[in-house]
Amino acid sequence: MRFSVLLPCLCFSCLLCPSAILPAQNAQTGAGTNPKAAAPAQHPRHVRPIDAAAPLPTRYDMLRGAYGPFRANNDLLYYHLDIRVDPDQKTIGGKNTIRFRMLKDGTRIQLDLTDKLNIDKILWHDQPLKYERDTGAVFIDFPRTLKTGEVVTIEFYYSGHPPEVGRFGAFTFKKDAAGHTWINTACEGTGASIWWPDKDQWRDEVESMDISVAVPNGLTDVSNGHFVAKTDLGDGYTRWDWHVSYPINNYDVSLNIGDYVHWGEVHNGLHMDYYVLPEDLEKAKKQFAQAPGMIDAYTHFFGPYPFWRDGYKLIEAPYSGMEHQSAVTYGNLFENGYLGRDWTGVGISPKFDFIIIHESGHEWFGNSITAADPSDMWIHEGWTTYLESLYVEYRWGKADALKYLGGLKPKVINMRPIVAERGVNAETTEDQYFKGALMLNTLRSVVNNDAKWFALIHGLYQHFKYQNIMTGDMVSYFNQHTGMNLTPIFDQYLRHAAIPRLELLFGEAPNMVMYKWDADEDDFAMPVKVGTPGHWQTIHPTTKWQQIQSPLSKDDFQVDTDEYYIDVNKQ
């Protein structure tokens, strides 16, 4: 997924926000006060902070983000996006055939298309429908009440020049190094309605989709799903038809138009196809040899590749990469690491191609299991970042995986909660990647039984595959299948800025160590390993002081911060 090297949330204004002040308030326990007085004191009651650093939603965001009555009254069934792309004019045009089932009686539905593109007409049974545009939303009115259960098919015709916006440009008309046309899409965050009309939200997905793209003869379009046919239209254009036979996120729908060469293989029955520019063919064949091993690793942990009928594709693109469903785009220089760098700085990244491993991991978490609102996007990014470490563990062992995860820690900011406000098209912080992965690794340590942990995450994937869910769904599954109450742990890591801090007090009495968690969740409780490496003992701190006997001095007494992502404060 869109993966940014910069950390856009690290702005100076963040330093002024209440959530940034909160950890400092927590930090005062014991410091500069009499520990004896501090020890039995009531833990101050923390209020879950509002994410004050989040930008105020615009009207556009409210209409994009809300699952309002004109979205909730229908259920998407099918799209056929059928367009022509003109590289010379830099225009697109055509129609999306949209089929949905009414869930309630109604006369109006909401679709979305940027106001930078023209609506040519919207037809129902060949009759034009009336509509109103409001920023990116399109409210469509029917001349009679559509009845609950009724299946409705409309044809939404549009045209124009799609604007280039967002980190990857959303829809770009470029030339490759040899001067050939190279047109690509990557619109996550910006939204698919920047280039095609759809119900642009995360909760509802079509069950299947056809994508037809007419391009000048000689060019190839690679889209999602499996290749159906190419047809010479006799007017200098060729139409490429692709069929997606699974539910698909709007932002995953993609075009890749270029002078592509293609090769493929069948790996344990899975069709794997590769599309690159001719000049990159040899290095791509070497680099893309990592793809079958990636499939093996994720299959081992979670089960078969989710979009089996559609096959897996890796397609060269002029940006770093994106998890377009069954059509992952790749622009990582055909080198290991991320854009030529040791991504986590601890010597593990150079062992594999970050984009192949990360973007393809999204096929399981992001594309198959999808968040129902962008507020909970850590379900895509936290999990997929964790999948990177599982890939490392599968290939090179747990020690390397822990080292890799440790390399994520300096990337975490801990300034804002990971889960954002629902229903306002919210953008979440980059902590969703690294802190999300570190939280999942911490949960593995809490479960403290690898066989159980791997059965748990395999079961979780199988339970939620092809569904659109929220954090609460996942937490319920964890609680139910571990028999533990992990809700305060999830809440602390996802819904607060600060991570839990283990407070340790030494010297109250000989060989005695007092301990408790300093956390925003009052009922936060999490076991943790302390002592010395190789001789860890598990303690069960809560937010109330407890004590253990230990012969270790303050300096020798350690906490297993490799397996638990926590702060430690020794006094």
Query: 198 or 381: whose CB is closer to Zn ion?
Result: 381
Q: How far is the CB of 364 from Zn ion (least distance, A)?
A: 12
Cβ at position 525, least distance to Zn ion in Å: 31
Touching Zn ion, residues 516-555 (CB under 5 A):
none
Reference 384, options 325, 437, 322; nearest CA is 437
In this complex, which beta carbon is closest to Zn ion, that of residue 386 or of residue 515?
386
Where in 362-421 is the site for Zn ion (CB under 5 A)? 381
Smallest distance from Zn ion to CB 217, Å: 35
Smallest distance from Zn ion to CB 84, Å: 31
Cβ burial, residue 281 (10 Å; 0-12/13-18/19+)? middle
Site for Zn ion in 278-297 (CB under 5 A): none
Number of residues that bind Zn ion (CB under 5 A): 2
Backbone φ and ψ of 128, nearest 5°: -70, 140
* CA distance linking residue 170 with residue 153, whole number of Å: 27
Instruction: With contacts defined by CB under 5 A, name the span among 1-9, 48-56, 444-452, 542-550 that binds Zn ion.
Output: 1-9
Q: What is the DSSP letter of 420?
A: -
List, in order, residues 6 or more apart from 23 with CB less than 8 Å away.
414, 497, 498
> Residues 142-152, buried b or exposed e (16+ Cβ, 10 A)?
beeebeeeeeb
Q: Which two tokens stand for residue 407?
A: 């390399």
Looking at the Cβ atoms of 93 and 366, the one nearer to Zn ion is 366
Of residues 1 and 530, the one with the C-beta less far from Zn ion: 1
Closer to Zn ion at the Cβ: 227 or 383? 383
Contact present, 367 and 307 (Cβ < 8 Å): yes
Q: How far is CA 349 from the centre of its chain?
A: 20
Contact map string, positions 194 to 223, toward Zn ion, x by CB under 5 A: ------------------------------
Residues near 58 by Cβ (< 8 Å), separated by ≥ 6?
135
Spell out the SS3 assignment of 203-269: CCCECEEEEEEEEECCCEECCCCEEEEEEECCCCEEEEEEEECCCECHHHCCCEEECCEEEEEEECC
Nearer to Zn ion, 363 or 381 (CB): 381
Residue 1 is a binding residue for Zn ion (CB under 5 A): yes
Q: Write down the least CB distance from residue 384 to Zn ion, Å.
A: 5
Residue 221 or 430 having the CB closest to Zn ion: 430
CB nearer to Zn ion: pick between 373 and 381: 381
What is the nearest approach in angstroms of Zn ion to the Cβ of residue 559? 30
Q: How far is the CB of 465 from Zn ion (least distance, A)?
A: 18
Q: What is the DSSP string of 387-408?
A: HHHHHHHHHH-HHHHHHHHHTT
Residue number, nearest CB to Zn ion:
1
Least distance (Å) from Zn ion to the CB of residue 354? 10
Point out which residues bind Zn ion (CB under 5 A): 1, 381
